[in-house]
């Protein structure tokens, strides 16, 4: 016996259709690492107007400096845990700290950002009839018991651990997305993003690729957290942005994994960084943090079939592109 549900309320007309204007796109968290690259890509299309809402917790205006003052661009200091009343056609909802040291810094705030922030963006989507994309995460799979992870896997997540504010927060955010879709007919898209790297990552944000590259450039030891055999699969940011836009523009709600299936142990990553950036540095084994997932690799069959997407940039090609940006920001030129 199927539950009785009220019919979805019809969506209001899309803003752009109503006013015959450009596509107006909101990016929450657009001053951050992935968000600012997404802004760059969307601004290339002259029919897009881009609005960024960000509280600058981990992002910065610097990432968007080339767009400030542009007639099709607007930047709002706004915390998504507060309601936002604007008129838009599409919402890319990225706002949320992504690096463990930042999301663990104020875990209650991280949960509010994921839950209340996503609720507010869904309320906004409902009011104006916008399509909304959530950047969820591979962390919803927790310490996965199946490998590689496909979207049908429900995950192995500790609900009371120090990472839970982030991974359980994103799981509730996904639930809210589907409930607004079923209950109110909102057009939703969910991307499950796997580890992403590239220029503009915070130099001291604590994630492994940024740590190793900054350490190699500064001539410090590369800190591999024990045991070093844990794996991750790293996607270059331009591939990620391409996948997110395809998902938004396509007809599938997801969730869809977006990531690069090339899997490396942390020791292998350290060896690659050492070889490519500074062969003189040492690799040091240091203590790990609790609940560190032991392996992670996306199954991207769905992304390939439904979005025609797969990553193009291999780790060994992406690392030097990131090195260039880090050298500029650290003010350390390459020897030779």
Closest approach of ligand NAD to the CB of residue 29, in Å: 3
CB 176 within 8 A of CB 134: no
Give the H or E element holding residue 30. none
Closest approach of ligand NAD to the CB of residue 55, in Å: 4
- Closer of 53 and 244 to ligand UDP (Cβ): 53
Query: What would the DSSP string read from start to end of 48-117?
Result: EEEEEEE--SS--GGGGTTTTT-TTEEEEE--TTS------SEEEE--S--SHHHHTTSHHHHHHHHHHH
Q: Is 230 a binder of ligand UDP (CB under 6 A)?
A: yes
Write out the binding residues for ligand UDP, residues 127-146 only, by CB under 6 A: 127
Q: Which of 35, 82, 78, 81 minimizes the C-alpha distance to 56? A: 78
Closest approach of ligand UDP to the CB of residue 65, in Å: 26
Closest approach of ligand UDP to the CB of residue 221, in Å: 10
Which member of 103, 166, 180, 236 is catalytic? 166
Q: Is 300 a binder of ligand UDP (CB under 6 A)?
A: no
Helices and strands per DSSP (H, E), number in the chain: 10, 13
CB 243 within 8 A of CB 191: yes
Residues 27 and 178: their CA atoms lie apart, in Å, by 20
Q: Is 123 a binder of ligand UDP (CB under 6 A)?
A: yes
CB 274 within 8 A of CB 222: yes
Q: Is 182 a binder of ligand UDP (CB under 6 A)?
A: no
Q: Is 56 a binder of ligand NAD (CB under 6 A)?
A: yes
- Closer of 32 and 142 to ligand NAD (Cβ): 32
- Sort 268 into a burial class: Cβ within 10 Å, 0-12 / 13-18 / 19+: middle
Residues that bind ligand NAD (CB under 6 A): 28-29, 31-35, 54-59, 79-81, 94-98, 113, 117, 135, 137, 193, 195-196
Residues that bind ligand UDP (CB under 6 A): 83-85, 100, 119-120, 123-124, 126-127, 195, 207-208, 211, 223-225, 230, 232, 266, 288, 292
């Amino acid at each position: 016996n199927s539950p009785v549900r009220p019919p979805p309320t019809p969506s209001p007309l899309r803003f752009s259709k109503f006013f015959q204007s450009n596509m107006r796109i909101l990016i929450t968290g657009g001053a951050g690492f992935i968000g600012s690259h997404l802004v760059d890509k969307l601004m290339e299309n002259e029919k897009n107007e881009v609005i960024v809402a960000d509280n600058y917790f981990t992002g910065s205006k610097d990432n968007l400096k080339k767009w400030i003052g542009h007639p099709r661009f607007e930047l709002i200091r706004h915390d998504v845990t507060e309601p936002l009343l604007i008129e838009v056609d599409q919402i890319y909802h990225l706002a949320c700290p992504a690096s463990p040291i930042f999301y663990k810094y104020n875990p209650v705030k991280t949960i509010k950002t994921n839950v209340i922030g996503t609720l507010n963006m869904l309320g906004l989507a409902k009011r104006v009839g916008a399509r909304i994309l959530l950047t969820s995460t591979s962390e919803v799979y927790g310490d996965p018991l199946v490998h590689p992870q496909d979207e049908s896997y429900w995950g192995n997540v500790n609900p009371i651990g120090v990472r839970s504010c982030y991974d359980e927060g994103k799981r509730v955010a996904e639930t809210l997305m589907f409930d607004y879709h079923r209950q109110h007919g909102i057009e939703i898209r969910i991307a499950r993003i796997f580890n992403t790297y590239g220029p503009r990552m915070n130099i001291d944000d604590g994630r492994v690729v940024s740590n190793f590259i900054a350490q190699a450039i500064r001539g410090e030891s590369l800190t591999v957290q024990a045991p070093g055999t844990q794996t991750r699969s790293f996607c270059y940011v331009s591939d990620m942005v391409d996948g997110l836009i395809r998902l938004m523009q396509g007809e599938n709600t997801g969730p869809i994994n977006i990531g690069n299936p090339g899997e490396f142990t942390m020791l292998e990553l350290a060896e690659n960084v050492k070889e490519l950036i500074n062969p003189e540095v040492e690799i040091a084994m240091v203590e790990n943090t609790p609940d560190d997932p032991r392996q992670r690799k996306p199954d991207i069959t769905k992304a390939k079939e439904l979005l025609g997407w797969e990553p193009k940039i291999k780790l060994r090609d992406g690392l030097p592109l990131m090195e260039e940006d880090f050298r500029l920001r650290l003010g350390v030129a390459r020897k030779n």
